[in-house]
Amino acid sequence: MLYRFNLARIMCVALFIPLAHAVELDTVVVKSTHQSSMRNIVQPVLVVDEEALKKSQAKSLGELLEQQPGISNASFGPGVGRPVLRGLSGSRVKTLVNGQDSSDLSAMSSDHAPMVEITNSQQVEVILGPATVLYGSGAIGGIVNVLDRSIHQSPIEEVQGSVKAGISSNDNAQVLAAEVNAGNGRWAMHINGFDKSSNDYHSSEGRVENSDTKSQGGGIGISRTSDEHGFIGMSLHSLDQDYGVPNPNDSETRVRPKQMRSQLSAAWLNPVAGIDRWETHLSHIDYEHDELTLPVTEGLFDKESFEANSKLQHASFAGWQGTIGIQFSQQEIKLCHDHSGCSQIPDYSDQSWHGEQGNLFTQQEGLQFVHDTPMPITKSTNIGYFLVENKPWGIAGIGDGLFEFGARIDTKTITADPVSIQPSSRRSQDYYAEKNFLPMTFSAASIWNISNDQRLSLSLSRAQRAPDAEEMYWNGDHHATFSYQLDNIDLHEETAYTADVVWNITGGNYFIKTSVYHYFFNDFIYNDLKDTTDPYHGNAVYRYEQKDARFFGFEFSWEQQINNTLSTVLNFDAVRAELLEGDDKYIPRLPPATASLHIKWQKDNWLLAVENFWLAEQDRTARNETSTPGFQKLNLKADYISRVFQKELTTSLAINNVFNSSGTNHVSYLKEFAPNPGRNIQLQAQLYF
- The closest of 280, 284, 337 to 101, measured between CA atoms, is 284
pLDDT computed for residue 6 by the predictor: 35
pLDDT computed for residue 452 by the predictor: 87
Distance CA 675, CA 668 (A): 9
Mean pLDDT to the nearest integer, 488-497: 96
Helices and strands (DSSP H and E) totals, the chain: 4, 38
pLDDT tens per residue, range 115-158: 999 998 999 999 887 678 888 888 898 999 999 999 999 999 99
Whether the per-residue pLDDT at 669 is higher than 80: the answer is no
Whether the per-residue pLDDT at 5 is higher than 60: the answer is no
pLDDT tens per residue, range 506-523: 988 999 999 999 999 999
Residue of 35 and 526 predicted with greater confidence:
526
Domains of the chain by start residue, with CATH:
3-688 (2.40.170.20)
pLDDT computed for residue 49 by the predictor: 85
Residue 501: pLDDT band (50, 70, 90) is very high
Whether the per-residue pLDDT at 102 is higher than 60: the answer is yes
Residue 505: pLDDT band (50, 70, 90) is very high
CB neighbourhood size of 186 (10 A)? 11
pLDDT tens per residue, range 323-337: 999 999 999 999 999
**Whole-prediction pTM:** 0.90
Displacement of CA 228 from its chain's centroid (Å)? 34
Judge contact between 244 and 203, C-beta under 8 A: no
* Percentage with pLDDT > 90 across the chain: 72
- The closest of 588, 654, 576 to 616, measured between CA atoms, is 576
Say which residues have a Cβ less than 8 Å from residue 240's Cβ, sequence separation at least 6: 215, 216, 217, 256, 257, 258
Residue of 80 and 415 predicted with greater confidence:
415
pLDDT computed for residue 258 by the predictor: 96
Residues found in the chain: 689
Whether the per-residue pLDDT at 26 is higher than 80: the answer is no
* SS3 per-residue string spanning 354-380: CCCCCCCCEEECCEEECCCCCCCEEEE
pLDDT tens per residue, range 169-194: 999 999 999 999 999 999 999 999 99
Residue-wise over 28-66: b if at least 16 C-beta within 10 A, else e?
bebbbbbbbebbbbbbbbbbbbeebbbbbbbbbbbbbbb
Whole-angstrom Cα Rg for the chain: 25
CB neighbourhood size of 676 (10 A)? 21
